[in-house]
Amino acid sequence: MRVLTRCAGLVAALALLLSCQPAQSDEPRALPAINVIPLPLSTTVGTGPGYLLTADTAIRTAPGTAPLADRLAEQLRRSTGLPLPVGPATGGIELRLDPAVEGEEGYRLAADEQGVVITANTEQGLYRGTQTLRQLLPPHIDAGAVVQVRWAVPPVTVTDRPRYPYRGALLDVARHFFTVAEVKAFVDRLALYKFNHLHLHLSDDQGWRITVPGHPELTGIGAATEVGGTPGGFYTDADYREIVRYAQERFLTVVPEIDLPGHTNAALTAHPELDCSGGPPPVPYTGTEVGFSALCPTDERSYAFTNDVITHLAALTPGPYLHIGGDEVKRLEPQQYEQFVRRVAAQVVAAGKIPVGWHETAPAAGAGQAGAGQAGPGQVGLLQYWRADQTATVPVQAAVGRGAKVLMSPAGRTYLDMKYQNGYRLGLRWAGYVDVLDTYGWDPDTFLPGLPPGSVLGVEPALWTETLSTVAELDLMLLPRLPALAEVGWSAQADRHWPEFRVRLAGQALRWEAAGFAFERRPSIPWR
Ligand code: TNX
């Protein structure tokens, strides 16, 4: 299988070279025949002409696949202008459920002159397959209006499933607020590259972004600002549900984070009684320092507050996880901190969710009695590792020994708010400069030494937004690094090769241009 995959890569590279003739300015340029990111498990290129979408093409459904087929049709109609009727009788593109296909997200895609068949054992698998189909079509398939090109799918057989079950991305909506429409735009980028979790960082020193019944001040006062002093914002229940729905439709699970007990200045402006630092009463903060705020660990009212927030958020969230933060707390004694995390984790478990925490919560992490990855009372079940180096390995190893799982977000590899290079206009640089090769050239299983196989649940890039306030700015940081991290999370480690990847990545530019996405032309990528 690996040989075939490598061959497919070579074919793609060759096709790219051959298509390098000067492009006519207003004519769509040709893409390599096979250019899929993340790299599928196995790809076999056929010899025939492939399948051409025409006015006669229909999308054929099987029991259980109609809603997905409707959405695929809707997406393809926009740029092809083809009618693409959906139904059980006719064909061209076919979506089939088959329990024999391996993996919850696995799928098979076969394209020849007769048509395209996508087979999976779940709707989720079928959806991932439709994103491969999208990438097999000319890049103008992502245009917002009708384009006249040959809508050809190359003859190919793809068998695919992901390396890791958890491939997420964090969006910080606290430092700068992003509207529901802007979050949906972020989800669109994630869906294209087969991510399956959306981590929303909903609270921080600079803003509180979600309504909680009985706490009108949280959104009245706590949500008013953002970094730089511009007006903030917040999500109503309906807004949040709409984000969840939109993400779910693309088979992404929303993981909400309320950062506790630090990063809580915005909450404390709404609830000054929960501050016991002895300093002046908290005021809205629009700077970018971290580590100065904490909920009072010795006041019972703090736990009544966290319980209100957690039960409400758990009720709004269909996914299994609730993230309680826990990072960069400088004001509490270690024992006080651990007790705080345990109490809040217990509230999360009582609300029916698995607590996730930044790796600082490791002393309070484990599996409890509920089995691996399932947190017991007072335990964080999933640790998100963010340090750029390995200095926090030991407590994480110990927590894994107690049954916790690890989500890898090492800052020097996955922090998409880091500058690409010295002098770059956007971003921070505390974890160093992060160029495309930094995001691609590592292995999540071995970044931390001494973790038993299976401890790493997945990978999660993070887009913190101290310096970012528009979708175009988010895009400049995401593209081209997000697809690199998609491949780190999805594709087999032994199949990943930078020289081949950078050629495929270059091909994505036509897609981003067609879709109107901003991206950064990093010199390490052979853009045309
Ligand atoms: C660290 S790593 C943070 C965030 C900042 C980010 C900026 C972690 C869990 N916390 O609060 O936004 O660095 O890069």
pLDDT digit string, tens, across residues 335-361: 999 999 999 999 999 999 999 999 999
Distance 463 CA to ligand 1 centre (A): 9
Ligand 1 pocket at CB < 6 A: 290, 327-328, 358, 386, 415, 417, 428, 464, 466
Index of the ligand 1 atom closest to the CA of residue 386? 2
Q: What is the pLDDT of residue 42?
A: 95
CA atoms of 305 and 309, how far apart (whole Å): 6
CA atoms of 194 and 416, how far apart (whole Å): 18
pLDDT-derived band at 105 (thresholds 50, 70, 90) equals: very high
Q: What is the pLDDT of residue 458?
A: 98
pLDDT (mean) for 48-69: 95
pLDDT (mean) for 476-497: 98
pLDDT (mean) for 265-288: 96
Of 258, 464, 466, 469, best ligand 1 pocket probe by most atoms within 8 Å of the beta carbon = 464
Contact 76, 82 (CB under 8 A): yes
Dihedral angle over CA of 104, 255, 168, 157, nearest 10: 30
pLDDT-derived band at 330 (thresholds 50, 70, 90) equals: confident
pLDDT (mean) for 281-303: 95
Whether the predicted pLDDT of 156 surpasses 90: yes
pLDDT (mean) for 275-279: 93
Coil vs helix vs strand at 201: strand
Residue nearest to atom 6 of ligand 1 (CA): 464
Q: pLDDT: is 129 or 367 the higher one?
A: 129
pLDDT-derived band at 11 (thresholds 50, 70, 90) equals: very low
Q: What is the pLDDT of residue 23?
A: 34
Among residues 104, 182, 217, 328, the one annotated as catalytic is 328
Nearest Cα to Cα of residue 257 among 187, 304, 204, 195: 204
Contact 354, 374 (CB under 8 A): yes
DSSP 274: G
Cβ burial of 423 (10 Å; 0-12, 13-18, 19+) is exposed
The model carries a pTM of 0.93
2 Cβ neighbours under 8 A, 6+ residues apart? 42, 492, 494, 495
CA atoms of 181 and 184, how far apart (whole Å): 5
Percent of the chain with pLDDT strictly greater than 90: 89
Instruction: State yes or no: is 328 an active-site residue.
Output: yes
Q: What is the pLDDT of residue 375?
A: 64
Distance 431 CA to ligand 1 centre (A): 10
CA atoms of 416 and 427, how far apart (whole Å): 8
Of 172, 293, 327, best ligand 1 pocket probe by most atoms within 8 Å of the beta carbon = 327
Cβ burial of 429 (10 Å; 0-12, 13-18, 19+) is middle
Index of the ligand 1 atom closest to the CA of residue 428? 14
pLDDT (mean) for 58-80: 96
Whether the predicted pLDDT of 250 surpasses 90: yes
Whether the predicted pLDDT of 7 surpasses 80: no
Distance 464 CA to ligand 1 centre (A): 7
Whether the predicted pLDDT of 56 surpasses 80: yes
Distance 460 CA to ligand 1 centre (A): 13
CA atoms of 162 and 293, how far apart (whole Å): 39
Q: What is the pLDDT of residue 180?
A: 98
Strands 156-160 and 42-45: antiparallel
Residue nearest to atom 9 of ligand 1 (CA): 327
Index of the ligand 1 atom closest to the CA of residue 464? 12
- Positive or negative, the CA dihedral 377, 381, 384, 385 is positive
Nearest Cα to Cα of residue 441 among 370, 336, 511, 524: 524
Residue nearest to atom 11 of ligand 1 (CA): 290
Residue nearest to atom 8 of ligand 1 (CA): 327
Per the prediction, the chain carries an average pLDDT of: 92
Whether the predicted pLDDT of 295 surpasses 70: yes
Distance 127 CA to ligand 1 centre (A): 32
Contact 367, 379 (CB under 8 A): yes
Nearest Cα to Cα of residue 8 among 29, 35, 30, 38: 35
Of 227, 386, 419, best ligand 1 pocket probe by most atoms within 8 Å of the beta carbon = 386
Of 290, 293, 408, best ligand 1 pocket probe by most atoms within 8 Å of the beta carbon = 290
Element of type H or E holding 87:
strand 86-87
The two three-digit tokens of residue 86, written as one number: 């959906």
Whether the predicted pLDDT of 492 surpasses 90: yes
CA atoms of 196 and 158, how far apart (whole Å): 20
Nearest Cα to Cα of residue 332 among 266, 275, 379: 275
Contact 523, 503 (CB under 8 A): no
Residue nearest to atom 7 of ligand 1 (CA): 464
134 Cβ neighbours under 8 A, 6+ residues apart? 75, 141, 142, 192
pLDDT (mean) for 399-418: 97
Distance 502 CA to ligand 1 centre (A): 28
Coil vs helix vs strand at 420: coil
Q: What is the pLDDT of residue 376?
A: 62
Contact 133, 109 (CB under 8 A): yes
Whether the predicted pLDDT of 12 surpasses 50: no
Q: What is the pLDDT of residue 368?
A: 62
For residue 355, cis peptide bond before it (omega within 30 degrees of 0): no
Q: pLDDT: is 233 or 376 the higher one?
A: 233
Percent of the chain with pLDDT strictly greater than 70: 92
Distance 396 CA to ligand 1 centre (A): 19
pLDDT (mean) for 370-395: 85
CB neighbours (10 Å) of residue 300? 8
pLDDT (mean) for 155-180: 98
Distance 354 CA to ligand 1 centre (A): 22
Whether the predicted pLDDT of 91 surpasses 80: yes
Nearest Cα to Cα of residue 490 among 188, 38, 120, 123: 38
Index of the ligand 1 atom closest to the CA of residue 172? 12
Index of the ligand 1 atom closest to the CA of residue 418? 14
